[in-house]
Amino acid sequence: MIRTILIRLCYTGFIGSCLLAVWACGSSDQADYVPKPKGYPRIDLPVAEYVPMAPIHPYQFDVNKIARVLPDTFKRAEPHWIFVYYPTLKATVQLTYKPVQSLDNLRGMLADAYKLTAKHNVKAYSINQQRVQLRNGLSASLITLVGEVPTQFQFVTTDTSRHFLRGALYFDIATANDSLAPVIDYVKADMMRMLNTLTWK
């Protein structure tokens, strides 16, 4: 009888020790747990090769060979509004062109362009604007938006007398901008190529 009790006590003590050891290991693991950094799928970007855009608009510039120039299909689109679409990157540069009719008309178009940008203030961490002199002698306003916004880069350029052009980068998919950073930089470089090779007709 006494022997049976002793065996049971030893067995119970052994099980308790095992459970305590498992609990201690589990507690240690939880205390030392470090969340893994968020990973994103790798995006392979081709080397950019440029060709002149077909001369069918009042403006012309170089476009990347992987992009397709398409007419703007929005209901309110005007003549010479186009999409420069990147099928493999699911990215689009929307270009809106307007002829300048007067100084007041130009001021109105500039105001409208900045209003469109200001609409992103709610989700943008910051909106940075800079004016740059281009290699072709023109100047442009570059607008970079940081945050979970649908457009990350825009430009506005005009010769102040006849032509006005606005470009904005958009993506087909809604995802964290951190994961799109390489693609954003890639298309931004293309947009700068557009500006630096831009000519008016």
The share of the chain scoring above pLDDT 70, in percent, equals 72
What is the rounded average pLDDT for all residues in the chain? 81
User: Across residues 2-29, what is the average pLDDT?
Assistant: 46
Q: Token pair for residue 180? A: 């799109």
Task: Domain of residue 11: give its range.
Answer: 1-34
Q: Is the pLDDT of residue 22 over 50?
A: no
pLDDT at 117: 72
- 95 and 22 co-located in one domain: no
pTM of the model: 0.75
82 and 177 inside one domain: yes
Write out the two tokens for 27.
């507690």
Residues 144 and 65 in one domain: yes
Dihedral (CA of 55, 56, 60, 62) sign = negative
* The predicted structure's pLDDT at residue 5: 42
Residues 55 and 65 sit within 8 Å (Cβ to Cβ): no
Mean pLDDT over 31-44 rounds to 55
Structurally, the chain folds into a number of domains equal to 2
Is the residue at 43 inside a domain?
no
pLDDT number for residue 121: 59
Residue type, 91: A
Higher model confidence: residue 56 or residue 1? 56
Q: Does residue 45 form part of some domain?
A: no
Same domain, 29 and 58: no
Are 58 and 27 found together in one domain?
no
Report yes or no on 74 lying in a domain. Answer: yes
pLDDT at 37: 47
Q: Are strands 124-133 and 68-71 parallel, antiparallel or unpaired?
A: unpaired
Residue 44 domain-assigned (yes or no): no
CATH of the domain at 82: 3.40.1000
> Quick check: 151 and 169 in contact, CB under 8 A?
yes
Q: Is the model more confident about 136 or about 66?
A: 66
Residues 12 and 91 placed together within one structural domain of the fold: no
Q: Say yes or no: 8 and 100 in one domain.
A: no
pLDDT for residue 84 is more than 50: yes
Is residue 40, in this structure, part of any structural domain at all? no
Q: Give the residue-averaged pLDDT of 10-28.
A: 47
Tell me the pLDDT tens digit for each residue of 163-199. 999 999 998 765 556 678 899 999 999 999 999 999 9
- The 10s digit of each residue's pLDDT in 110-148 is 998 888 776 665 566 777 899 999 999 999 999 988 777
Q: Which helix (H) or strand (E) holds 199?
A: strand 199-200
